[in-house]
Amino acid sequence: MATAEPLEICVKAAVGAPDVLGDCPFCQRVLLTLEEKHLPYNAILINFSDKPQWFLEISPEGKVPLLKFDDKWVPDSDVITQIIEEKYPDPSLVTPPEFASVGLKIFFSFVKFLKSKDPNDGSEQALLDELHALDEHLKGHGPYISGENICAADLSLAPKLHHLKVALGHFKSWTIPENLTYVHNYIKLLFSRESFKKTEAAEQYVIAGWAPKVNA
């Protein structure tokens, strides 16, 4: 089932460049979902340093992404991607329930390590443990989380791995260990998809987005 009218989606504009797609991984997750389902959409860029009044009226907390369904603006990437899947089931991006938690803690572990000022607080090891677990999963089930075909869990993880790679490389000169070969292959696979190339934030904007949080 195709949609004739393009869907409207509010996403973050780049820091210091209000006409360029910004660095929000949750926005990219929704854009990836729309791209993989070949759904037309209009991305409305929201400048976070000067949020327009009409936007604050539909999103009092000032959060993105927001997608318009049946004249109603819906927040939260979890909810949005679920509605997209229900309304436009083909091609299916459903994650098998037994794989739903794969990679789920990576983003949280990455943020904790990124913001950490104490090299002995265990945050680096916690992230490594999560990446090792992902590597083991991909070794047995890959190349994607649920096998040969991409699913919602991959589209959620792809932007977060992009942020992890760029931000840790820039702020901590840290890279994913070479021995995690399945993770490295997975990242290459995800980042080479047309949908990813069309929706990724440029590295400079990922860095600009994290800078205030790292330096806080």
Could you write out the DSSP letters of every residue in 76-92? -HHHHHHHHHHH--SS-
pLDDT for the residue 113: 98
Which tokens is 100 given?
Answer: 């739903």
pLDDT tier for residue 215 given thresholds of 50, 70 and 90? confident
pLDDT for the residue 216: 80
Q: How far apart are CA 45 and CA 57, in angstroms?
A: 16
CB neighbour list of residue 39: distance below 8 Å, 6 or more residues apart: 2, 3, 7, 84, 88
pLDDT for the residue 169: 98
Average pLDDT, integer, range 122-139: 98
Q: How far apart are CA 128 and CA 179, in angstroms?
A: 11
Q: How far apart are CA 98 and CA 201, in angstroms?
A: 31
In CATH, which superfamily holds the domain spanning 7-87?
Glutaredoxin (3.40.30.10)
| pLDDT one-digit tens code per residue, 78-104 | 999 999 999 999 999 999 999 999 999
Q: Which residues are catalytic?
A: 24
- Provide the 10 A C-beta neighbour count for residue 117: 6
Which tokens is 125 given?
Answer: 């090891």
On average, the pLDDT of the chain sits at 96
- Whole-model pTM: value is 0.96
The ranges assigned to domains in the chain are 7-87, 97-214
Q: How far apart are CA 140 and CA 152, in angstroms?
A: 19
pLDDT tier for residue 107 given thresholds of 50, 70 and 90? very high
Radius of gyration of the chain from its Cα atoms, rounded to whole angstroms: 17
Q: Which amino acid is at 118?
A: D
pLDDT tier for residue 144 given thresholds of 50, 70 and 90? very high
pLDDT for the residue 182: 98
Q: Which residues pair with 147 in a beta bridge?
A: 144
Residue 70: Cβ-neighbour burial (10 angstroms; 0-12, 13-18, 19+):
exposed
pLDDT for the residue 103: 98
Q: Which amino acid is at 106?
A: I
- Provide the 10 A C-beta neighbour count for residue 179: 10
| pLDDT one-digit tens code per residue, 48-63 | 999 999 999 999 999 9
pLDDT reading at 1 higher than 90 = no
CATH code for the part of the protein at 97-214? 1.20.1050.10
pLDDT for the residue 200: 98
**CA distances from residue 183 to 16, 175, 187 in whole angstroms, order as listed:** 32, 12, 6
